[in-house]
Structure 1
Amino acid sequence: MAQQNTRLGIWLMVLTTLIFSVQDGLSRHLSEATNVYMVTMVRYWFFAAFVITLAARSKGGLRGAVKSGQPVLQTIRGVLLVVEICVMVSAFVYLGLVESHAVFACYPLLIAALSGPVLGEKVGWRRWTAIGIGFVGIVIILQPSGGVFSPLAAIPLLAALMFALYGLLTRRVARTDSAATSFFWTGVVGVITATLIGMWFWQPMDAPDWAMMALLCLTGATGHYTLIKCYEVAEASAVQPFAYLQLVFASALGLIVFNESLRPNVVIGGAIIVCAGIFTLLRARKAEQR
């Protein structure tokens, strides 16, 4: 087992969030230039190659990675993640990085709220209070009286719900399958699903966009690699709160590169969601320690 180094794990999580933020910016640009489904498909081609390479070099090889005690749930996980990526990148195109990530930041609250019915876990009144406060933050961002509130605002919220379900299913299959097996199924099922969808939406791209596509694939592989290393050197509960930095990095990218605006209600609502989310993560960590 790798030696625990929380400080290194935190820095790796910070680096991971920065890489994934760049990936979000590239995904938005390429999806505006072509379409979401083609971009997701090409991205998954590279990701699947990365996953299969890691599995082949791991202990037990491909044969060990493919063995799953819950193949149906693993398949659902893989399909769910592809659809979630398509929905979230669509949110980037229609709403921008700032507002999309501000709403999407509620996914840990959704995980906490759904952990009871999906996993049979007990959620105490403190976490339910934090969940309620977090959803007040969502209402502040959406501004029912105007602003961003529109049917489009449901897109990142739907993505957050799907990502929460993906996270819960990941914890469910972890009862029988190793992380390497789950990672392998995510890549293989994902590339099949993404190709079945994206092949109907192929569009030609010019050389600069292909260069950006290559960079997108590289950031995807690099981000997953640093995330794996992060969880190898530190406990997930210790570094997970720092994943919220992706909201900061992605928002900065949206403001600087895509000339997005930062309204006060988005800042206030996003801050409330992040604080509530961090509280639920800390409470979950204490519950695990007990």
Structure 2
Amino acid sequence: MSGRLGADSHATVQNTRLGIWLMIATTVVFAVQDGISRHLASEYNVYMVVMIRFWFFAAFVMALAARADGGIRAATRTRFPLLQITRGVLLVTEVCVMVLAFVKLGLVESHAVFTCYPLLIAALSGPILGEKVGWRRWAAILIGFLGVLIILQPGYAVFSPWALVPLLSALLFAVYGLLTRYVARGDSASVSFFWTGTAGAAAMTLVGVWFWEPMSGPDWGWMAALCCTAIVGHWLLIKAFAVAEASAIQPFAYLQLVWASGIGLFLFGEELRTNVAIGAGLVVAAGIFTLWRQRVRAQQDAHS
């Protein structure tokens, strides 16, 4: 699908094109954020790094809410308070797990496994949301998980349990995504965004303050850069979804794998093993097909 319904065809193309470029910019910023996270978490405790990042994220969402109609009071009004809090806790937990994966496995392999999260969303959308998943999407899901197995290589030589960490992160993010879709039935996107930042920051503070470490001056600069990339990345993502439909731009989110892998290869000296490249290719192809089938089903439902 493209652009906004009701606009003329030229405007629709322009909106979709702008949304694509905004999504590409988002993936670049988030990849840089991952590289900075990998550096800081290699030197300092993961909980502290993520806590400070979420403090700035919470400040960002509160600033957005204060400028919106109704202010912060309107942003706090939710029909699903417990689910919104759960979403925030899930996301901040996922971030901690993924940053840990960056340190233990590197950016290349972590992102190669993490890219299976759209397949997990598709697989879990039936039992959690009651959505119907057809045989074509199930076939794509199975092919995608074959790609994950190729990346992980269970049973080959000495299998590292750390290889499962980004898979856990993908599962957490998938459940977070499904809960986001569920609460969207009663809450606006701005309400969900507000609760994501504030609940996540509150939960992380309860843990992170116990792991505070002194940080060097240069690394405080990197921390400031991390917080800025988080804010800029989320702002770009909001703008991307504001000018184009999700189904049209979501496939471009896979470019984050490319940029993050490049940072891992050229800045951190990681290597791209053949099995990781092949497996990641299968996962991405299966994920894009799944997104395309979801778009086709949405179009069919709209015309039925």
| TM-score above 0.5 | yes
Aligned length: 290
1:236 aligns with 2:246: yes
- Closer, same or farther in 2 for the Cα pair 1:75/1:32, shift >3 Å? same
Structure 1, unaligned runs of 5 or more: none
- The residue that corresponds to 1:182 in the other structure is 192
Q: How does 1:25-36 map onto structure 2 within 5 Å?
A: 25-36=35-46
Q: CA RMSD of the aligned region, Å?
A: 1.2
Which of 135, 157, 164 aligns to 1:125? It is 135
- The residue that corresponds to 2:144 in the other structure is 134
How far did residue 146 of structure 1 move?
A: 3.0
- The residue that corresponds to 2:264 in the other structure is 254
1:85 aligns with 2:95: yes
In structure 2, distance between residues paired with 1:20 and 1:147? 33
In structure 2, distance between residues paired with 1:264 and 1:55? 46
Which of 31, 34, 39 aligns to 1:21? It is 31
1:72 aligns with 2:72: no
Secondary structure class of the residue paired with 1:261: coil
Which of 42, 48, 51 aligns to 2:61? It is 51
- The residue that corresponds to 1:152 in the other structure is 162
In structure 2, distance between residues paired with 1:147 and 1:287? 43
In structure 2, distance between residues paired with 1:284 and 1:266? 27
Query: Residues 137 and 273 of structure 1 are in contact (CA less than 8 Å); yes or no, is this contact kept in structure 2?
Result: yes
Matched letter for residue 126 of structure 2 = G
Matched letter for residue 223 of structure 1 = G
How far did residue 148 of structure 1 move?
A: 8.0
How far did residue 144 of structure 1 move?
A: 2.0
Secondary structure class of the residue paired with 1:238: helix
Structure 2, unaligned runs of 5 or more: none
- The residue that corresponds to 1:105 in the other structure is 115
In structure 1, distance between residues paired with 2:260 and 2:159? 21
Matched letter for residue 80 of structure 2 = Q
- Closer, same or farther in 2 for the Cα pair 1:148/1:58, shift >3 Å? farther
In structure 1, distance between residues paired with 2:208 and 2:187? 29
Alpha-carbon displacement from aligned partner over 1:39-85 (angstroms, at most 9, x marks no partner): 00000111100000000001121111100011111010000001000
How far did residue 90 of structure 1 move?
A: 0.2
Q: How does 1:162-181 map onto structure 2 within 5 Å?
A: 162-181=172-191
In structure 2, distance between residues paired with 1:256 and 1:279? 30
In structure 2, distance between residues paired with 1:34 and 1:163? 24
| Identity within the alignment, % | 66
Query: Residues 77 and 170 of structure 1 are in contact (CA less than 8 Å); yes or no, is this contact kept in structure 2?
Result: yes
- Closer, same or farther in 2 for the Cα pair 1:224/1:38, shift >3 Å? same
Structure 1 stretch 51-60 or stretch 148-157: which is displaced more? 148-157
- The residue that corresponds to 2:211 in the other structure is 201
- Closer, same or farther in 2 for the Cα pair 1:63/1:148, shift >3 Å? farther
- The residue that corresponds to 1:273 in the other structure is 283
TM-score (norm 2): 0.94
1:245 aligns with 2:247: no
TM-score (norm 1): 0.98
Alpha-carbon displacement from aligned partner over 1:241-268 (angstroms, at most 9, x marks no partner): 0000000000000000000010000000
Secondary structure class of the residue paired with 1:205: coil
- The residue that corresponds to 1:192 in the other structure is 202
Query: Residues 142 and 148 of structure 1 are in contact (CA less than 8 Å); yes or no, is this contact kept in structure 2?
Result: no
